[in-house]
Amino acid sequence: MTSPAVALNGLTKASGSVTAVDGLDLTIRSGEVVALLGPNGAGKSTTIDMLLELARRDTGTARLFGLPPGEAIAAGRVGALLQSGGLLPDLTVGETVALCAALYTSHRTVPDVLDRAGLTDLATRRVAKLSGGQQQRVRFAMALVADPELIVLDEPTTGLDVEARRSFWAAMREESGHGRTVLFATHYLEEADAYADRIVFVRAGRVVADGTAAQIKARVAGRTIRATLPGADLNALAALPGVDEVESRGDTVLLTCRDSDAALRALVTTTPAYDVEVTARGLEDAFVAFTLAEEVPA
């Protein structure tokens, strides 16, 4: 059988009394697009660093396509875009990508990579003259140049404006469409919701939830009722059956419910509320429940 693209088993990493990664297990099949989510300090970047052998793990094993990470990377099977790592300021964009390409016996052409990263018009500009977002696109080009089977991205759209983020993910969608495996860590929940096949929540260095966006959301109980109710009595709304929390935004009220059917019946029969909408809990609710709340949903 084909080895998984990523196989992490029992990874741990501590610094003094602080444990950044605590027995983390993660397997990613070839062709999957997986988002790694968690609050600051959850261990996402440390996990990625150990996966790429940029940090030494204390215990556990890491394999990429069945190989030690260093071997898979040296063979050009892995490309990475990381938060850390500087660029040579005196080189042009084209020279930077060409230098990176020269490290591999087989690679994509520089013009092709520049086009994919949206850098063709900046090929002759020196790196020192680029904005932060443009430099991030250079790092993306460097991650693609070896024509890797696995692309690892740590906060890839940091510093990009809305249009640049949209273009980046359009490019990534095309890359994954060619069968590449993608693992990305991000703080933008909407990116994970829109582009990932699987979402993995990490808390205190451990995986606490793993599944599709729909599966993750389904594990967060309850629904939200949104309604227009000018002059609402928030205490009275909080006392309705099935209501856990109440929030007001001008004339709009939001009811977080454990039993939305009971709450909805009481709302429409005892108040003049209108424009009523009932929605399932979203990925943001799941993020809070799995990574920030004291108890993790079963």
295 burial class (0-12, 13-18, 19+ CB within 10 angstroms)?
Answer: exposed
Tell me how far apart the alpha carbons of residues 117 and 102 are, in angstroms, rounded to a whole number.
18
Q: Are residues 170 and 263 in the same domain?
A: no
Q: Are 57 and 170 in a shared domain?
A: yes
pLDDT tens across 175-232, in order?
888 889 999 999 899 999 999 999 999 999 999 999 999 899 878 877 899 999 999 9
Give the Cα separation of 248 and 255 in Å (integer).
9
Residue 59 CA from chain centroid, whole number? 25
Model confidence at 296, pLDDT cuts 50, 70, 90, reads low
Q: Indicate whether 293 belongs to any domain.
A: no
Q: What backbone torsions phi and psi does residue 186 show, to the nearest 5 degrees? A: -155, 155
Query: What tens digit of pLDDT does each residue of 98-124 get?
Result: 999 999 989 999 999 999 999 999 999
CA distance 12 to 21: 5
| Cα-based distances in Å from 289 to 53, 238, 292, 297 | 31, 21, 6, 7
Domain count, the chain: 2
Report d(CA 191, CA 103) in Å as an integer: 32
Closest by CA position to 30, among listed 63, 59, 61, 52:
63
Same domain, 45 and 158: yes
More confident residue, 214 or 72: 72
Do residue 264 and residue 119 come from a single domain? no
Of 154, 187, 212, the last residue of a domain is: 212
Out of 154, 188, 212, pick the residue that ends a domain: 212
Domain that includes residue 244, residue range: 222-280
Contacts of 135 (CB under 8 A, 6+ apart): 87, 127, 159
Number of helices followed by number of strands (H, E) in the chain: 11, 13
253 exposed, middle or buried (CB, 10 Å; 0-12, 13-18, 19+)?
buried
Contacts of 258 (CB under 8 A, 6+ apart): 221, 222, 242, 243, 244
Percentage of residues of the chain with pLDDT beyond 70: 97
* Residue 280: pLDDT band with limits 50, 70, 90: confident
Are residues 131 and 78 located together in one domain of the fold?
yes
87 assigned to some structural domain = yes
Q: Would you place residue 289 in the very low, low, confident or very high pLDDT band (cuts 50, 70, 90)? A: confident
Same domain, residue pair 249 and 120: no
Considering the entire predicted model, what is its pTM? 0.83
59 pLDDT exceeds 80? Answer: yes
